[in-house]
Amino acid sequence: MQSSSNNSLKHIAIIMDGNGRWACHRGHRRIFGHIRGARRAKEIVQICSEMEIPFLSLFAFSTENACRPKEEVKFLIKLFEKILVEQGSFLKALNARLHLLGDITFFSEKVRDCLSTLVSQSRGNTGLNLILALNYGGRQEIVQGMKKVMEEVQNGKISPKTIDENFIHQLFPSSVFPPPDLIIRTGGETRLSNFYLWSAAYSEIHFTKTLWPDFSKAHFTQAVQEFFTKERKFGSITKHSRIKHSRP
Ligand code: IPE
Ligand code: IPE
Ligand code: MG
């Protein structure tokens, strides 16, 4: 997606936070917030698809979320089972392709089966690339990458000269996607919580206090519009300063 600002918006990544608080504020159990959060996620996928944004990442479960009370983790796994089984036609209608990030061996066989079916069924779809981060952690990616490097060192395939940014980048499973241009975090916290540590180096970050189940199309559009007002300098200087400095 391109606007008059010249910023190109290829990849939006969302840390969907605030489900538990949303439910508690209403006198419900936390799990009710996850049900509403899942509904919201589907709406945002639809909106991204309509806006022709090429890549959308949804952070649905972090490696650290496994440390939550057993009942909550169990409920989330059941919820994933219930939701995923119904999404084939949704992806087809949007012409969207599903990709996975993270270690899904953590989940039940039913979740794993549904995910692999959705990934293979949607492989030929040419619209939105939907990346679901499940039991994903940025540090986990770095650990995996370092293991690959050690193997290559042991096999005598690389030397210190081989190692540069491109080499490190291609070690990570997420390197097959463009880096996120815009990361949105709902729920009021201003941290990455182990999301996309490497590729977020130059992401614009939109933090909002809005809790995920309340994050509407208007909130989403506002975050996108704000992105287009940014001048992304990547360590250089603004166009304005460039003109000023070029004068004698
Ligand atoms: C995000 O909402 C969903 C997951 C991490 C699975 P939370 O469950 O973290 O909700 P809060 O932050 O406790 O309100
Ligand atoms: C981040 O939210 C993870 C997901 C939204 C999947 P958390 O609620 O787990 O993050 P912390 O614990 O507030 O950092
Ligand atoms: Mg949270």
The string of pLDDT tens digits covering residues 97-127 is 999 999 999 999 999 999 999 999 999 999 9
Residue position matching structure tokens 């990934």: 119
Question: Stretch 149-175: mean pLDDT, rounded?
Answer: 94
What is residue 122's predicted lDDT score, i.e. its pLDDT? 98
Would residue 65 show up in a list of annotated catalytic residues for this protein? yes
Residue 246: pLDDT over 70:
no
C-alpha–C-alpha distance, residues 19 and 75, integer Å: 13
How many A from CA of 20 to the centre of ligand 1? Answer: 5
Q: Whose CA is nearest to atom 10 of ligand 2?
A: 193
- Paired strand residues for 14: 58, 184
- Provide the pLDDT for residue 2: 58
**How far apart are the C-alpha atoms of 46 and 155, rounded to whole Å?**
46
Laid out side by side, the sheet with 55-62 consists of: 97-101, 129-136, 55-62, 11-15, 182-185, 204-207
Output the ligand 1 site: residues, CB below 6 A: 16-21, 61, 65, 76, 187
Q: Answer yes or no: is pLDDT of 5 > 80.
A: no
Q: Is 164 a catalytic residue?
A: no
pLDDT classification of 247: cutoffs 50, 70, 90? low
**pLDDT value for 68:** 98
pTM > 0.85: yes
Measured from the CB, is residue 61 less than 6 Å from ligand 2? yes
pLDDT at 40: 98
Is any ligand 2 atom within 6 A of the Cβ of residue 65? yes
Residue to substitute in 22, 40, 65, 77 for testing ligand 2 pocket (most ligand atoms within 8 angstroms of CB): 65
53 pLDDT higher than 90 = yes
- For the CA of 16, the closest atom of ligand 1 is 1
- Roughly what angle, to the nearest 10 degrees, separates helices 109-121 and 70-84? 30
What is the per-residue pLDDT across 67-93, written as a single tens digit (0 to 9) for each? Answer: 999 999 999 999 999 999 999 999 999
Residue whose C-alpha is closest to residue 127's, from 101, 100, 98: 98
Ligand 2 atom at shortest distance from the alpha carbon of 16: 5
Instruction: Give the model's confidence band at 6: pLDDT under 50 very low, under 70 low, under 90 confident, else very high.
Output: confident
Cβ of 196 closer than 6 Å to ligand 2, yes or no, is: no
How many A from CA of 17 to the centre of ligand 3? 5
As a whole number, mean pLDDT of residues 12-19 equals 99
Q: Where residue 239 falls among pLDDT bands split at 50, 70, 90?
A: confident
Other CB atoms closer than 10 Å to residue 196's CB: what's the count? 26
- Give the number of the atom of ligand 2 that is nearest the alpha carbon of residue 65: 9
Indicate which ligand has the atom closest to the C-alpha of 37: 1
The pLDDT of residue 238: 78
pLDDT digits (tens, 9 = 90+) for 173-232: 999 999 999 999 999 999 999 999 999 999 999 999 999 999 999 999 999 999 999 999
Task: Please determine, for residue 12, whether its predicted confidence score (pLDDT) is greater than 80.
Answer: yes
| Cβ atoms of 110 and 76 closer than 8 Å | no
57 within 8 A of 180, measured Cβ to Cβ: yes
Tell me how far the alpha carbon of residue 76 lies from the centroid of ligand 3, in angstroms. Answer: 14
User: What value does the mean pLDDT of the chain take?
Assistant: 95
